[in-house]
Structure 1
Amino acid sequence: MAKERILEVENLTVAFKTYGGSVQAVRGTDFYLDKGETLAIVGESGCGKTVTAKAIMGLLPIDNTTIGNENSKIMFNGRNLIKLTEGELADLRGKEISMIFQDPMTSLNPTMRIGEQIAESVLIHNQISKEKAKEIAIKMLKLVQIPNPEERYKQYPFEFSGGMRQRVMIAIALACDPKILIADEPTTALDVTIQAQIMKLINELKKDLDTGVILVTHDLGVVAGAADRIIVMYAGKIVESGRTEDIFYNLKHPYTYALLQSVPKLTKDTSKKLYSLQGTPPDLIDPPKGCGFAPRCDFAMKICSIKTPEKTTFAEGHEAYCWLHHEKANTQGVPELILTRGESSGK
């Protein structure tokens, strides 16, 4: 049975005006989200993953940001979100598409009671009484597994632990039963035990509410058991995308390989140093002509710094942008894991 597609992003570009020039933060990304699935966007800091999420939400500053071009689309419910006014986006945010931000302490109002903050998001989008909004807020606190929700409703953010505050952020985001939930680094600054609890909670709520989830993170360990599909971004572009099992066990891009090599593994010899990716990402005020990863890639060829890689398809939904999969590529020393040939699009 075909899944219902709830979001389609085509050729998304985002540029920021600065004193030094225009920063090309996102450089033509294409992806989709189906109802009830979790899509992870991974990559190191500055790769464009959070900017992509905020572009969907319409949360980027309008005075110095250019979103999209004549071919760009963010399609949701038959509407291109790029073309909507601020008022139309405000109606959408929190009701149809919600976001959990990185730091709940700075996202929550320290002067308002927790319950009032949840109820406020419900009142903004629904014509209901304050009493009914309070009932929904207590129900949401219970849903995100906060004990004694009636008492917790009256408390302030400083009375909650980091994990509890993140649960409150999830409650606020889901209070209006959105179709899409964007979680931007939802486990940052939490210890590993709480991280696991938060990811388990998001996964359970996704199934219960049939919500589509976009999980933004730099940590591949977080997405291993949570995502259905993964997008790997680098220097504002998607370099590889596919099902979670494809990315972990059948990866095709050297950057994905480097990310996985840098994740600690219990089975590895602890006396050996953990892999460290050398170099720095490119300056996106003056983006590279070829592959942005080429200066840091152990397997780069001459063409990599001259021409943007073609898209190669390996299986349904598994794609990578890398010259190593061209029939004329020099693959000496390249790990066998990367080398399986696919079908080049010539794009």
Structure 2
Amino acid sequence: MEKQLVVNNLKVSYHTYAGEVQSVRGMSFDVNKGECIAIVGESGCGKTVTSKAIMGLIQSPPGEVKKGSEIMFNGKNLLDYTEKQWEEFRGGECSMIFQDALTALNPTMKVGKQIAENLIAHRGMKKDEAINEAIKMLDLVGIPNADKRVHQYPHQFSGGMRQRVMIAIALACNPSILIADEPTTALDVTIQAQIIDIIKNLQQKMGTSVILITHDLGVVADLANRIFVMYAGKLVEKGTFEEIFYSPKHPYTWALLKAVPRLDNDEKEQLVSIHGTPPDLIAPPKGCGFAQRCQYCMQVCLTKEPPTFKFGEEHEAACWLHHSMAPKLDLPFEVGGAL
């Protein structure tokens, strides 16, 4: 398949009064044309910083994209773009659904005008034409009475409806890539399912490549072709949907899967959480970032960074447990469901 976006050895730091926070420490992944991938991990692992780097939204100071990083879009390195090229890229070629629609939307502007801005800037439409297109976009994302709602302000919409407006803004110019940063945060499960269905249907209809960023593996189950598991600014495991859900190889992926409530569990069973906290990225650990929280931690995990072990064409994991000298472990929990 044609690779539309290739991220190589991305490193992003923030310079603070306490020291250099190494938010992203060598992240690499790619997105094929028309594909949906998911970047999964806890809050603070570097997912959103990675997405902001792709959009050219790392402000300097305090942020810095380190030398040696590459973000290749259709064969061109985005990090070499001028500010004018970035402005053409954002909204035109790549759009982003931000995490909190309430703060991302301008409270003083009607939603129709906020959608129309993109159309006027990137498609050269006139104001009336752009508003008519905005009505079509609101209707496309499932907002009823779009011709009236286009003239309302964000506070007049519910949380789920605001998120739909964000999707309409992001898709207005039919971008090649859509980045959805925690698009279902703070929404109830019914609205979450509706938002995921909208993204899935629009992706299939418009052929847009999607990068879905989330901490919840349950959200990506029916959407992502490939999943990239991120921890402490690094990629710890990647694979297809089937490989990650049915044959995970990294203890952090195991922990994330165990934290997803199962419908077939006893209703009195206690929810599983991941003990401990992520490492301090001002002074990153020498070995595996997950070592201090991992129940299978060995001495080598604390002192040496694990190599990447391959289990298939797409499936890779960075964990010492797969070394030939490590103790052999079976998957510590039962996976279920039909493919």
TM-score (norm. length: structure 2): 0.96
1:309 paired to 2:319: no
2:137 to 135, 140, 157: 140
Q: Deviations over 1:77-131 (max 9, x none)?
A: 2211112122221111000000000111111111111111111111111222112
8 Å Cα contact 1:258-1:277 kept in structure 2: yes
Q: Name the aligned partner's letter for residue 172 of structure 1.
A: I
Measured after TM superposition, the shift of residue 135 of structure 1 is 1.8
CA–CA separation in structure 2 for the residues paired with 1:165 and 1:38: 23
Which structure 2 segments of 5+ residues have no match? Answer: 334-339
For 2:331, the equivalent position in structure 1 comes to: 336
For 1:287, the equivalent position in structure 2 comes to: 284
Distance 1:336 1:194, change over 3 A: closer
For 2:264, the equivalent position in structure 1 comes to: 267
2:100 to 92, 95, 103: 103
1:90 paired to 2:87: yes
Q: Deviations over 1:256-278 (max 9, x none)?
A: 00111111111122333222211
8 Å Cα contact 1:252-1:337 kept in structure 2: no
CA–CA separation in structure 2 for the residues paired with 1:336 and 1:258: 11
Q: Deviations over 1:33-74 (max 9, x none)?
A: 01111110010010001110110001111211111323x210
For 1:111-190, list aligned pairs within 5 A.
Answer: 111-190=108-187
For 1:215-230, list aligned pairs within 5 A.
Answer: 215-230=212-227
CA–CA separation in structure 2 for the residues paired with 1:131 and 1:159: 23
CA–CA separation in structure 2 for the residues paired with 1:127 and 1:211: 21
Q: Name the aligned partner's letter for residue 27 of structure 2.
A: T
Q: Name the aligned partner's letter for residue 50 of structure 2.
A: T
Measured after TM superposition, the shift of residue 337 of structure 1 is 6.2
8 Å Cα contact 2:230-2:237 kept in structure 1: yes
CA–CA separation in structure 2 for the residues paired with 1:264 and 1:79: 42
For 2:11, the equivalent position in structure 1 comes to: 13
Q: Name the aligned partner's letter for residue 198 of structure 2.
A: L
For 1:61, the equivalent position in structure 2 comes to: 59
Secondary structure class of the residue paired with 1:110: coil
Measured after TM superposition, the shift of residue 216 of structure 1 is 0.4
CA–CA separation in structure 2 for the residues paired with 1:261 and 1:128: 49
More displaced, 234-243 or 145-154? 145-154
CA–CA separation in structure 1 for the residues paired with 2:84 and 2:274: 44
For 1:197-216, list aligned pairs within 5 A.
Answer: 197-216=194-213
More displaced, 134-143 or 167-176? 134-143
8 Å Cα contact 1:254-1:297 kept in structure 2: yes
CA–CA separation in structure 2 for the residues paired with 1:171 and 1:19: 39
Measured after TM superposition, the shift of residue 327 of structure 1 is 0.2
CA–CA separation in structure 1 for the residues paired with 2:320 and 2:189: 37
8 Å Cα contact 2:34-2:209 kept in structure 1: yes
CA–CA separation in structure 2 for the residues paired with 1:278 and 1:94: 39
Secondary structure class of the residue paired with 1:205: helix
CA–CA separation in structure 2 for the residues paired with 1:41 and 1:226: 12
Measured after TM superposition, the shift of residue 280 of structure 1 is 1.1
Q: Name the aligned partner's letter for residue 201 of structure 2.
A: E
2:20 to 22, 37, 55: 22
Measured after TM superposition, the shift of residue 159 of structure 1 is 1.3
CA–CA separation in structure 1 for the residues paired with 2:195 and 2:283: 39
Q: Name the aligned partner's letter for residue 18 of structure 2.
A: G
CA–CA separation in structure 1 for the residues paired with 2:331 and 2:134: 53
For 2:32, the equivalent position in structure 1 comes to: 34
Distance 1:261 1:118, change over 3 A: same
For 2:50, the equivalent position in structure 1 comes to: 52
Secondary structure class of the residue paired with 1:111: coil
Aligned residues: 333
8 Å Cα contact 1:229-1:243 kept in structure 2: yes
For 2:336, the equivalent position in structure 1 comes to: none
Distance 1:273 1:335, change over 3 A: farther
Q: Name the aligned partner's letter for residue 26 of structure 1.
A: V
Q: Name the aligned partner's letter for residue 330 of structure 2.
A: P
CA–CA separation in structure 1 for the residues paired with 2:118 and 2:161: 18
CA–CA separation in structure 2 for the residues paired with 1:49 and 1:127: 33
Q: Deviations over 1:119-158 (max 9, x none)?
A: 1111111222112211211111111111111111111111
Secondary structure class of the residue paired with 2:54: helix
